[in-house]
């Protein structure tokens, strides 16, 4: 038993691990058949008449449970000293025992978190926000946005980072800082515009300098610009999904498309792409017919030397969002660098907003995965 004595409040907290005792006491003073229980009730009534507030609290047996061992430690010290608080010992009386134990367990959990993980660099020890809102604009996020943000905070994405390069047998180095030979060979074999030798800036930062015809021949799938906003999506189906989701007041775009090299118009994007690869006015038509990018990547001279140990920073969201010099122009354009510098929002709020999705869309064209 422990007691808290103040000039105005008299409170007695009784903690026991005996459910049978509490069940017996709960029946009332006139229903007791055991002498010990009857004596307990007499003392409780005496205390109540003297103005004491009595609380009966059940606590599970120890069995190695952290919260119970902690309570046992404090109770043992209290019984030895005869006081409910001592120098260096937290008070035993709490108005909410659940909050007390939750705080203790949370502090212990935080002390065990590894500090070398991707998520710790982004969010520290704070748990993820589960409100489903953009913590910067307070707008409700779509389900696909929530899924991609959760993946990004954990550092796992099929479109960039460790998982992206692991399935391609490459080391996870930032392609904008210090790209490895394996990464370079893979990107060149797949006509990736971010490959070395094309430009040294992300594709979104050089869109104004590359002609539409040249940009369409660099990638496998066509970049489609939304006619109602500034969004650029990969593939016509993603453009249609985007327009239906964000511009329902406008009719969806038609699949008709004109060839980039002649005046012929085709009913679908697929038929246009098939014609474009064979169009007589396309200077790259012969190269596309006679040599496949996949076949070229398997030739011995295209196989790079192995680099089993990554050199330079890894391609993580924390690096791309806060450190990478290659993405600085995009971060400045999106206001990420300036707003973090002026503390308009915290680093913890940043990965719980649409800003990382906008950055990844500008860098890798990942918007195609957001509204699928």
DSSP, collapsed to helix, strand or coil, labels residue 127 as coil
Q: How confident is the model at residue 221 (pLDDT cuts 50, 70, 90)?
A: low
Answer yes or no: do 46 and 181 share one domain: no
How much is the average pLDDT of 363-371? 54
Answer yes or no: do 10 and 103 share one domain: yes
pLDDT at 260: 76
- Of 306, 321, 339, the residue at which a domain comes to its end is 306
Answer yes or no: do 224 and 364 share one domain: yes
How much is the average pLDDT of 65-82? 68
How much is the average pLDDT of 127-149? 87
Please give the tally of structural domains in the chain. Answer: 3
285 within some domain: yes
Structure-token pair, residue 357: 């999705």
pLDDT at 163: 84
Answer yes or no: do 249 and 260 share one domain: no
Answer yes or no: do 179 and 319 share one domain: yes
Answer yes or no: do 187 and 295 share one domain: no
Q: How many other C-beta atoms are found inside a 10 Å radius of the C-beta of residue 255?
A: 16
pLDDT at 57: 82
323 within some domain: yes
Could you report the per-residue pLDDT of 203-213, keeping only the tens digit for each? Answer: 444 444 444 44
Question: Domain with 19 in it: what CATH number?
Answer: 3.30.420
134 within some domain: no
pLDDT at 207: 43
Q: How confident is the model at residue 216 (pLDDT cuts 50, 70, 90)?
A: very low
Answer yes or no: do 225 and 342 share one domain: yes
Q: How many other C-beta atoms are found inside a 10 Å radius of the C-beta of residue 127?
A: 8
Contact (CB, 8 A) for 174 and 167: no
Answer yes or no: do 235 and 301 share one domain: no
What percent of the chain stands above pLDDT 70?
70
Answer yes or no: do 160 and 194 share one domain: yes
129 within some domain: no
Contact (CB, 8 A) for 351 and 127: no
Q: How confident is the model at residue 83 (pLDDT cuts 50, 70, 90)?
A: low
Answer yes or no: do 226 and 348 share one domain: yes
> What gap in Å lies between CA 62 and CA 77, rounded to an integer?
16
| Residue among 200, 199, 269 nearest 240 (CA) | 269
Answer yes or no: do 333 and 191 share one domain: yes
> What gap in Å lies between CA 181 and CA 187, rounded to an integer?
10
Angle at 280 between CA 275 and CA 286, to 5 degrees: 85
Could you report the per-residue pLDDT of 249-292, keeping only the tens digit for each? Answer: 888 888 777 787 787 888 877 777 777 777 777 766 544 444 44
| φ/ψ (deg, to 5) at 257 | -150, 140
Answer yes or no: do 197 and 293 share one domain: no
Burial class (CB in 10 A: 0-12, 13-18, 19+), 200: exposed
286 within some domain: yes
> What gap in Å lies between CA 11 and CA 227, rounded to an integer?
71
Could you report the per-residue pLDDT of 104-117, keeping only the tens digit for each? Answer: 888 888 888 887 77
121 within some domain: no
Domain extent at residue 164: 143-211+218-253+312-369
Q: How confident is the model at residue 2 (pLDDT cuts 50, 70, 90)?
A: very low
96 within some domain: yes
pLDDT at 55: 84
Beta strands in 200-320 (DSSP E): 223-225, 232-234, 257-258, 265-266
132 within some domain: no
Residue 285 CA to its chain's centroid (Å): 43
Structure-token pair, residue 114: 């590894």
Could you report the per-residue pLDDT of 181-195, keeping only the tens digit for each? Answer: 778 888 877 766 656
> What gap in Å lies between CA 290 and CA 309, rounded to an integer?
36
């Amino acid at each position: 038993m422990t007691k808290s004595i103040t000039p105005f409040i008299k409170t007695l907290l009784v903690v026991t691990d005996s459910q049978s005792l509490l069940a017996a006491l709960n029946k009332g003073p006139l229903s007791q058949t055991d002498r010990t229980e009857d004596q307990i009730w007499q003392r409780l009534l005496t205390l109540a008449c003297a103005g004491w507030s009595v609380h009966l609290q059940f606590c599970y047996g120890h069995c190695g449970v952290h919260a119970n061992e902690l309570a046992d430690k404090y109770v043992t010290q209290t019984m030895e000293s005869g006081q409910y608080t001592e120098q260096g010992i937290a008070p035993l009386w709490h108005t909410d025992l659940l909050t007390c134990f939750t705080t203790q367990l949370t502090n212990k959990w935080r002390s065990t978190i590894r500090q070398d993980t991707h998520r710790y660099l982004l969010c520290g020890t704070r748990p993820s926000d589960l409100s489903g809102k953009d913590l910067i604009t307070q707008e409700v996020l779509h389900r696909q946005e929530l899924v991609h943000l959760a993946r990004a905070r954990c550092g796992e994405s099929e479109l960039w980072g460790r998982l992206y390069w692991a399935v391609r047998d490459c080391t996870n180095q930032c392609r904008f800082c210090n790209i490895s030979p394996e990464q370079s060979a893979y990107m060149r074999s797949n006509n990736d515009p971010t490959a070395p030798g094309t430009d040294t800036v992300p594709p979104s930062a050089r869109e104004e300098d590359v002609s539409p015809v040249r940009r369409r021949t660099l990638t496998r799938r066509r970049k489609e610009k939304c006619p109602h906003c500034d969004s650029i999506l990969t593939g016509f189906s993603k453009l249609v999904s985007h327009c239906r989701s964000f511009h329902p007041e406008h009719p969806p775009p038609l699949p008709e498309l004109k060839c980039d090299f002649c005046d012929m118009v085709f009913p679908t994007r697929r038929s246009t792409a098939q014609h474009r690869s064979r169009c007589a006015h396309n200077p790259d038509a012969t190269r596309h017919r006679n040599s496949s990018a996949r076949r070229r990547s398997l030739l011995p001279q295209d196989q790079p030397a192995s680099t089993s140990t990554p050199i330079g920073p890894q391609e993580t969201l924390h690096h791309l969002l806060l450190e990478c010099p290659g993405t600085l122009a995009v971060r400045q354009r999106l206001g990420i660098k300036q707003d973090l510098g002026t503390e308009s929002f915290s680093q913890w709020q940043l990965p719980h907003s649409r800003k990382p999705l906008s950055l990844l869309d500008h860098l890798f064209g990942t918007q195609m995965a957001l509204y699928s």
